[in-house]
Structure formats: structure tokens, C-alpha cells
């Protein structure tokens, strides 16, 4: 920067100003600095800038997994929103564990991010402590604070900002839909039992209870990560246990696709003998045979909105403590042909 300053015949401070806020210097100086800067191939060091200004222009983004399309979409939304504003996402992968999340968060905080985006609301007390101690904005995603069954970990809702949708309501909607379709022996298949999956299941359960058709025996919950292969396998297990099942809710579309494939293989007509519903409306769900009924979740939009909220909080030089907000982006029941 000193070289550029010398070349442009100004002080280093003026170079800094000319490059960061071009209209804070005269047009003539700006031109000279820009020319010198370009000629010398000057790239300002963000590290030094961060140290001097206490703004790193980075945002910690904590997600459970990189191999689940749901969180990738979230990340994509975050990335495409932050990027034009000059912010760098720092991804942290927690592997679905609250303890790991705390560790990862701690590691990320060493980078002094200007904001934090987390997945879900199930954090360790240590994580809540860390978050409370931060002076930068924090946004939680994929869930709502008003959600039942969460258990307020002593943190109150004070200042917690969330962008998501009601997993419970979404599960309820699927359950109600299957009941409305006249199905009576409705089963549930779920993997990757994170809190959001559990809430979906709770909603589904409630819907079936409300319809007087809940049968706990027809629930098949396994801890494994969801996949097409697992869906195929679990379909067989579910039908072996209860051959008369006439509808199934699978907690994620990859499971549902696997189940559909297996039905085709076993010659089980869908939806005639068995209705199948998935969740998330992942890529391809509209094209399966038959097209899959599922719940479209606004994953990318959640990422975009979370990033927007964060940017608003970060640009706010007044550091006004933002009012807690709980943005509900909703979901859509996509009724297709498998039900």
C-alpha cells in the first residue's frame, strides 16, 4: 500500500480510502490511486484490514452435513446472498452433534466472524453461552422458536432470531393428507433422527391421532443417515412387519425414492395398494414414477433470508440490538400421484 501511495503521490491512508470508499476522495486522486493500484497489481490484505478495523468480512455457517442436499441448498442461498456484499462464508460441519457443534463454533469464533448462522435450535448450554457472549448477529435456521417440544434450554427467546418453517406443521400436513385420502393403516419411516426429523414425526403422529388412526407399531425409526438405498431396505422391513400397510410417510425424499424403486421392483402398485409420501421435494421428486407427493421446503430461501438478516445486523453500525425475529417461510404440500 505504501508503494501504491508513493506511485500515486499520496499517503497510504488516502489509498485505503480511495479503494474502500471511492467517493471519500477527490475524483483526481481516486483516478491516480486506481491507476497505480492496478499497475502494481495491488491487492489489499484482508487480514491486516480485519485486524485494524475489527471486521473480518466473514460469516460462520454451521451445518450438520455436506452430503445432505437440504443443507447444501441452505448454504447455496447463504453464499449467493453474502457474496455480493463481500462477505466470505466459513463453513463448519457439525455432523449432527450438538457437542461437535460447540467445538466447531469455538473453532470458527477464533476467526472473529462478523456474523453466525446455525442450523436448528438444539444447542448445548455451552453453545448458548458462547452465542450470548457474542457481539455479532446470530441467526438460527430451519426451525422456529415457537416450536413445541423443543425444551427451552434456559436461554429464553431473548434475542434469538430464527428463519425457518414449522417442521411440526409440515409433518402434520402430510399426516392429515394421507388420512384425508382415506388411508387407514399408515406407517412412518424415518432415518437421521435429528430434532427436526423428530418434530416432523411428531406432527405426523398428531395428525393421525386427530384422525383416530395412529398405530405406534407402524413406526420404523432408525438412526442411520437417509439414502435411497436405506429407503429401499426400510420399505421391505416395514411391509414385512405390516403387510397390510396402505400408506407410508418417509421423512426424507431420498428414502421415499428408494421406497418407490423397491415398490416397482416388488410389483407393489403405487398409489393403488400403497400410498407413498416424502419430504423436502428434492430434485427429481416431480419426475419419479409415479411423481412423488412430498412437502416442498424453502431451504434456499431460508439461507437467503438468514443471510439478509445477518447483513442488516452487520451493516448496522449503530449496533442497535435487533428485535428478536422469527421468520416463518412456510412450506408447501406437493400433492402428486403417489398418494
Partner DNA sequence: GCTTCCTTTGTTAGCGGTAACATATCGACC
Partner DNA sequence: GGTCGATATGTTACCGCTAACAAAGGAAGC
Which residues would be at the binding site for DNA (CB under 7 A)?
A: 1-2, 9-14, 16-17, 19-20, 24-26, 28-29, 42, 44-45, 48-49, 51-54
Adjacent-strand bridge partners of 190: 221
Measured from the CB atom, is 45 or 67 closer to DNA? 45
How far apart are CB 110 and DNA at their closest, in Å?
A: 9
Does residue 124 interact with a copy of itself by CB under 8 A? Answer: no
CB under 5 to 8 A by kind: which of a copy of itself, DNA, none does 216 bind?
Answer: none
* Distance of alpha carbon 72 from alpha carbon 262, whole angstroms: 27
Q: Which does 193 bind (CB under 5 to 8 A by kind): DNA, a copy of itself, none?
A: none
DSSP code at position 138: E
The C-alpha cell at 23 is 467517493
Q: Which of 109, 150, 193, 334 binds a copy of itself (CB under 8 A)?
A: 109
- Which residues, numbered 202-241, are part of the site for a copy of itself (CB under 8 A)? 227-229, 232
Using rule CB under 8 A, residue 197 touches a copy of itself: no
Q: What is the spatial distance between Cα 255 and Cα 265, in angstroms, rounded to a whole number? A: 15
Residue 19 makes contact with a copy of itself by CB under 8 A: no
Considering the rule CB under 8 A, would residue 80 count as an interface residue with a copy of itself?
yes
Select from 49-57, 139-147, 212-220, 271-279 the region that touches a copy of itself (CB under 8 A). 49-57
Cell, residue 82 = 453474502
How far apart CA 76 and CA 143 sit, in angstroms, is 18
Binding residues for a copy of itself restricted to 246-285, rule: CB under 8 A: 254, 257-258, 261-262, 264-265, 283-284
Q: DSSP state, 154? A: S
Q: What angle is formed at CA 27 by the lines to CA 26 and CA 29, rounded to 5 degrees?
A: 65
Rounded to the nearest whole angstrom, what is the least distance from the CB of residue 224 to DNA in the complex?
41
Q: Which residues contact 267 (CB under 8 A, 6 or more apart)?
A: none
Angle at 166 between CA 164 and CA 168, to 5 degrees: 145
Which of 160, 332, 189, 168 shows the shortest CA–CA distance to 260?
Answer: 189
Question: How far, in Å, are 17, 21, 81, 116 from residue 46 at the CA level?
Answer: 14, 15, 20, 19
Give the interface with a copy of itself as residue ranges (CB under 8 A): 41, 43-48, 50-51, 56, 66-67, 69, 72-73, 75-76, 79-80, 83, 88-91, 93, 106, 109-112, 133, 227-229, 232, 254, 257-258, 261-262, 264-265, 283-284, 286-289
Amino acid at each position: 500500500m505504501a508503494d501504491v501511495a508513493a506511485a500515486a503521490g499520496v499517503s497510504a491512508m488516502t489509498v485505503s480510502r480511495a479503494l474502500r470508499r471511492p467517493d471519500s476522495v477527490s475524483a483526481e486522486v481516486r483516478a491516480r490511486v486506481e491507476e497505480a493500484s492496478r499497475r502494481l497489481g495491488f491487492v489489499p490484505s484482508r487480514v491486516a484490514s480485519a485486524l485494524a478495523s475489527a471486521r473480518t468480512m466473514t460469516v460462520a455457517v454451521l451445518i450438520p452435513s455436506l452430503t445432505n442436499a437440504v443443507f447444501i441448498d441452505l448454504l447455496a442461498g447463504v453464499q449467493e446472498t453474502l457474496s455480493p456484499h463481500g462477505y466470505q462464508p466459513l463453513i463448519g460441519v457439525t455432523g449432527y452433534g450438538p457437542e461437535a457443534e460447540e467445538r466447531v463454533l469455538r473453532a470458527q469464533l477464533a476467526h472473529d466472524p462478523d456474523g453466525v448462522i446455525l442450523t436448528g435450535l438444539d444447542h448445548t448450554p455451552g453453545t448458548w453461552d458462547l452465542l450470548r457472549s457474542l457481539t455479532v448477529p446470530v441467526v438460527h435456521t430451519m426451525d422456529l422458536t415457537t416450536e413445541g417440544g423443543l425444551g427451552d434450554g434456559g436461554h429464553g427467546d431473548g434475542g434469538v432470531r430464527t428463519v425457518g418453517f414449522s417442521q411440526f406443521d409440515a409433518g402434520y400436513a402430510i399426516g392429515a393428507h394421507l388420512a384425508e385420502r382415506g388411508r387407514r393403516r399408515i406407517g412412518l419411516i424415518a432415518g437421521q433422527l435429528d430434532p427436526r426429523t423428530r418434530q416432523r414425526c411428531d406432527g405426523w403422529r398428531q395428525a393421525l391421532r386427530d384422525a383416530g388412526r395412529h398405530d405406534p407399531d407402524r413406526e420404523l425409526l432408525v438412526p442411520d443417515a437417509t439414502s435411497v438405498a436405506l429407503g429401499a431396505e426400510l420399505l421391505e422391513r416395514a411391509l414385512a412387519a405390516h403387510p397390510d400397510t396402505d400408506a407410508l410417510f418417509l421423512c426424507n425424499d431420498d428414502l421415499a425414492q428408494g421406497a418407490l424403486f423397491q415398490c416397482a421392483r416388488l410389483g407393489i402398485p403405487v398409489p393403488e395398494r400403497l400410498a407413498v409420501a416424502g419430504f423436502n421435494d428434492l430434485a427429481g421428486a416431480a419426475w419419479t414414477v409415479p411423481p412423488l407427493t412430498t412437502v416442498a421446503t424453502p431451504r434456499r430461501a431460508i439461507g437467503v433470508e438468514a443471510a439478509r438478516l445477518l447483513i442488516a445486523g452487520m451493516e448496522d453500525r449503530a449496533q442497535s440490538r435487533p428485535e428478536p425475529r422469527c421468520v416463518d417461510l412456510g412450506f408447501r404440500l406437493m400433492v402428486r400421484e403417489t398418494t
